[in-house]
Structures are given as C-alpha cells and as structure tokens.
Structure 1
Amino acid sequence: MTEGIEGLFARTEEFPNSSARARLAALVGLDDLIDRLATDAVALLDPTTIQSWSKAVHGEVIPAVTALADRTPLLVFAGDVGVGKTEVAEVIGQVIATRADADVTLYPLSLTARGRGAVGEMTTLLTRAFERISADFVRARRSDGTASSLGVLLIDEADALAQSRELAQMHHEDRAGVNALLRGIDGMRTDRLPVLTILCTNRLDALDPAVQRRAAAIEVFGRPNRAQRFALLARHLSGAKLSDTEIDGLAAATGESADRSYGYTYSDLRQRLIPEMVLAAYRHGVALDALIAHEVLARTPPTRPFEALTR
C-alpha cells in the first residue's frame, strides 16, 4: 500500500499481493459471490473477453454484447453493517487481477473528499479525484480494447456522498457534489477508462436514483445463512475442543431465534464472538470447548439491523 495521493485517497493498494490473498481466504462463505462479481467486473472492464465468448458460442458478437459494452462499470454494494460488503470491495481487485492477468490499483476515496461544508469544496475535491484517476488510466487501453492495467475506485458510505437530490432539505453543496460524482463516473465511461467504481452503502434507498440507474449491478449483501456461519465457525475453531455437531449447534444458535428476527453478521462472528471465546478460555486457563462457546454466546448478542437502529 502507498499513502493517499494528494489527500484524495485513503491508501492506494496494488494487486495482486499476499495480504489481499490472505484477506480473501478469510471471507469464508462469500466465495461464490466474489467469483461472480469478479467475473462481471472483468467483462465490464475488458469487453474483449465477452466478445470472445460470444464468438465462441454464437459465432459472432451478438447485439446484446454491444449493449453490455455500453454499461457503466459501476457496482453498488448494499446491505447492513458488518455483512462484508466493504471488505469484499477492498479485496476484489485481487481476484480481478488474476482473472484479467493485469495489475489492478485500488483507490479508496478519502473521507476528506467529502469536504467540510465549505461552498464548492466537495465538488472541487471530487473533480480532482476523477482527474487523477483519469490521468493514471488514459493510456491504459490498448488499440485492441484490452487494458494493460485496471483500476477500482471505492466509495464507502456512499449514501453520505451520493444521497438523493430529490430530498427537499438537501443543501445546494450536496446537490453539486452528486452532480460532480455523476460527471466523473460518466466521464470515465465515455473515455472508456478501465476503471471499476464500487459504491458501498447501508441505505440503498438513500442513493440518488440517477446513481442507481447507472449501476451495472446492485448487489445486496445479506447476513450469513446457517451453512455460511458453520463454514466460518469451523474454519476459525479448527483445533479447539468442539466437534462438528457442536459447531453446527453454534451455527444454529447464531441465526434467527424466537427472540429476534435476525442472526449474527460476519463481523459479529469474526470480530466479536470468536475472539471473546478465545479470551474467555484463556482467562479460565482451559481449552476452548462447547461450554465456553455457549457461555460467551449468551452474553454476546448480534448487532441489530441498521434499520432498527434508526427507528
């Protein structure tokens, strides 16, 4: 990773790299989703791949492929807090780099780019950010349409930056910021820059309709199901004194129940429940077993859904 460029980006990251490979391996239960998203991303960024597919299976490049080539390389990741959308967005460049056999650079837009409320500040910073990315990739596309390098622009908490202009109370500066974002995204598409934009949001309905219309895909991340919870728990609790049956019991107990209509998020499991199990066993000087696991589970409830927190 390198420090953010001119304060516009938090930390840029080059893929492939070993750190991202390890982070990908930790995303247990999301393999199929990541595979699908990376495949779609490569098709959007390098139209020659899907053209080759069309020629192989249809004998020609069918009109539908041309329509796909006109789509904006923009993905929206929506979902509750802790369901893995930002983590996937931060490391998907690793899979894209492997699939496309090209270097990929991640540009996470800094919170600074949202400005401090001064008139014109957010618009200026957004414009600079897109100008910087455009300068980096203006010559990345070869004459045959393939790309020598690819980029991923990540905008986390996008609803704070791209909130709907239909809101009556929306400030003029915020409207100008949304317009600047749309111009930047449209400009990269018009210039055919091999850059994928990913917007992450907890509030899909708050995103401006024009942003949603431009998205090639809107992926809604959900909380892990029982099989995904089991896979995650089994991986992290390997070597502990728990049988597969006992781990499956934990997977069941971390789902919906009579007392609540929601289960644990990936973050609840990875960052709260499992670490606390380890600490509890350590404090007692005993092995991590089912008894310790359920004691911790009883005092470690899941995070409530974002909607419930705002009511």
Structure 2
Amino acid sequence: MASQDDLFHPVIELPEPVRRARYGRLVGLDDTKDRLRKEAVLLADPRRLRAWASEHHGHDGIAALGLFTDRAPLFVFAGDVGSGKSALAESFGCDLAEHLDLPVYLYRLKLATRGSGLVGEMTALVGDAFAHLQEKGRRARGARGVNSVLILVVDEADALVQSREAQQMHHEDRAGVDAFLAGVDSLAGADVPVLVVLCTNRVGALDPALMRRAAATLTFTRPDEQQRRAVLTDALRGMMIRPDTIAKLAELTGPDGDRPGYTFSDLTQRLVPAAVLHAFPDRPVTDADLLTLATELAPSPVFTEQQP
C-alpha cells in the first residue's frame, strides 16, 4: 500500500490560524457556509440527527432519517476561477472544528495519485487513498462517539474523475474513476467521520455517476454588488476609506457590458494589494488610488468550460 506521504500533501489539523483567517475573509458566502456546516455535521456525526429527531419529534423513528442513512459524504464545489471554492474547501473545517469542539484533519489529495499511466497504477493509488481514510475514520469514531473528523479535498477534480463518457478517455483513467466511485461508495453508510470535497471549474466534465452520489453540489459565482461591498469593506478595514468610495468601488468592479465582474480573488488578491503596493513605502492608501486602480485593472477572464 502507498504511504500517506505518497498520497496526500502534509495533513493539517484544524482549526489553525492561516485557514481560520481565510475562512473569515470569505464574506458574502454566509448562506453557503451555513448550508455546508449543517450538511457536514450530519454526515460526519449522524447521531446528531437522531438526537434532533428525539428532541423535536419525540422519537428517532421518523421516516426522513432513513433518507440520510446511505448518503455519500461527498460535496462538489463548482464555479469559476477565483470564486472562493478552493479557499472554502480548505478552511470550512475550522468552523466545523469549533462547532463540534473536535479536531478536524485536512487531507489534500496529490494529483500524483493519477499515476504514470501504468496499467492498474491509478486504480491502486486511489484505492489506497480511500483505504487510508477508512482506517483513520474508524479510529476517529470511538465508543463514546466521534473524536475527530477527516476532510479530503480534491482540487482540479476533473483531472481525476473526468466523465467516462469521454470518447478519448484512456482505459486506465476509466478504471481510476471506477476506483474513486468505489471509494466514495465505501464511505456511504459506513458511519465513519470522513468527508470528501471535489473542487472543479468544469463541473460538466465530472462523471455523471459521481454527481449523482454528491450529498450537495455548491455552485460558486462571481460576487454581486452587495457581496463586493462586503468584501471590500472587510479588506479595507483600518485604512480610513470612505463608505461612499467603497460603494463606488463595488459598482466599478461589477460587470459592464461584455466585461465580467471581479472575482473574489480579484478583489482581495489583486485590487487591494495593488493599492497597498502603489502607496508603499511613502504614503497611505487613498480613495483616489483605489478608484483609479478599479478602472485600470481588468477582471479575470471567465473560464469557458470545455465539455469532454
């Protein structure tokens, strides 16, 4: 069996400061965060659903609970580049850890698990990854209940689980998708606190069987004007930028004709840092700096999905 180091990037225990701060900066995604927390809690610890049913319905024998029993602990995060999906995938475990008062361990799958093309290699590596998670998941559920949660994040998931309907798909890749589906199925109803999150810019390229198994598919879009204002208000806190300037920035960074609006990362990783660098080291950032840059910086181009 392949080692943990062969399969995953270094495992990170959450909450930790960098990702906790990243989660906090993802403003304007409150509805998505709330839904993700509920789904993750119920998939990681189904006993909480039974406790809810007993408290609010007088017993845990209600039929609806059966609908949750065999769901795969799988989330698909789909959306444009810079829309916050990868940042949320790697940071929502901080919120989950604090909500459950338990450590959450973040596993990030290496794309090396695709192998080098040798027959059976990809299948074996994917199988090893899920076997590893199963073993760790069983240890994370003790006699007294869940003592930790594991989250596996697969970024650029379309590179690993592309639709088997693609005619140009190599046999080894098809076998790898089969192995991934088998791994997801092995977690459904297994009562182990393991969650799997797939991030993709090309949701249409993912295998349909995988999409059918997802407990939730969360779509990430470019921020609307209210979200842009919230992001900018947070990012510019402490700089004495006027509220009317922030409102104007939210307007300027929106879509205009054929030009798309700014992404979340355009605002937080390009616009605001550019203003700081423009002023450093001789003077403070001014309202005029930001307004000028907002008219000069082009937003990231829209990612055009190519169907398999």
TM normalised by structure 1 equals 0.92
Structure 1 residue aligned with 2:95: 95
Shift of the 309–142 alpha-carbon distance from structure 1 to 2, 3 Å rule, reads closer
Match of 2:124 in 1: 124
In structure 2, runs of 5+ residues without a counterpart are none
Give the counterpart letter for 1:287 in structure 2: P
Q: Say which SS state the counterpart of residue 301 (structure 2) adopts.
A: coil
SS in 2 for 1:138: helix
Partners in 1 of 2:140 and 2:35 — Cα distance?
24
What whole-Å deviation, never above 9, does each CA across 1:228-270 have from its counterpart, x for those lacking one? 111111122223342101111001111111342x211111111
1:276 counterpart residue number:
274
Distance 2:262 2:249 in 1: 11
Q: Residue 152 of structure 1 contacts residue 196 of structure 1 at CA under 8 Å; is this kept in 2? A: yes
Aligned runs of 1:162-241 on 2, under 5 Å?
162-241=161-240
Q: Which residue of 2 aligns with 1:293?
A: 290
Shift of residue 43, structure 1, vs aligned partner: 0.8
| Percent of paired sites with the same residue | 45
Whether the 8 Å CA contact 1:39–1:96 is kept in 2: the answer is no
Q: Which residue of 2 aligns with 1:18?
A: 17
* Aligned pairs, number: 304
Distance 1:299 1:118 in 2: 49
Write out per-residue CA displacement over residues 177-222 of structure 1, whole angstroms, 9 at most, x where no aligned residue. Answer: 1001011111122532210011111111111011001000100011
Q: How far has the Cα of 1:175 moved from its partner?
A: 0.2
CA distance, structure 2, for counterparts of residue 24 and residue 8 of structure 1: 25
CA distance in 2 between partners of 1:294 and 1:259 (Å):
21
Asked whether the equivalents of residues 70 and 189 of structure 2 are also in contact (C-alpha less than 8 Å), the reply is no
**CA separation of 1:190 and 1:240: change in aligned 2, threshold 3 A:** closer
- Could you tell me how far apart the structure 1 residues matched to 2:305 and 2:68 are? 38
Instruction: Find the residue that maps to 2:249 and give its secondary structure.
Output: helix
Backbone CA RMSD of aligned residues: 1.9
- In structure 2, give the amino acid aligned to 1:72: A
| TM-score (ref. length: structure 2) | 0.93
Cross-structure match for 1:253: 252
Q: 5+ unaligned residues in a row in structure 1: which ranges?
A: none
Bigger Cα displacement from structure 2, 123-132 vs 31-40:
31-40
Amino acid at match of 2:216: A
Query: 8 Å contact 2:107–2:152 — kept in the other structure?
Result: yes
Matches within 5 A, 1:43-192: 43-61=42-60, 62-143=62-143, 146-192=145-191
Q: Which residue of 2 aligns with 1:303?
A: 300
Q: Which amino acid aligns with 1:278?
A: V
Distance 2:163 2:121 in 1: 19
Deviation of 1:131 (Å)? 1.5
Residue identity in the other structure for 1:279 = L
Q: 1:250 to 1:7 in 2, by over 3 A?
A: same
User: How many angstroms does 1:308 deviate by?
Assistant: 7.5
Whole-angstrom distance in 2 between the partners of 1:100 and 1:287: 42
Moved over 6 A (4+): none
Specify the SS of the correspondent of 2:239. Answer: coil
| Contact 1:280/1:296 (<8 A) preserved | no
* Alignment deviations for residues 280-309 of structure 1 (CA, whole Å, 9 cap, x no partner): 1227x4432222112212221111111189
Moved more, 166-175 or 57-66: 57-66
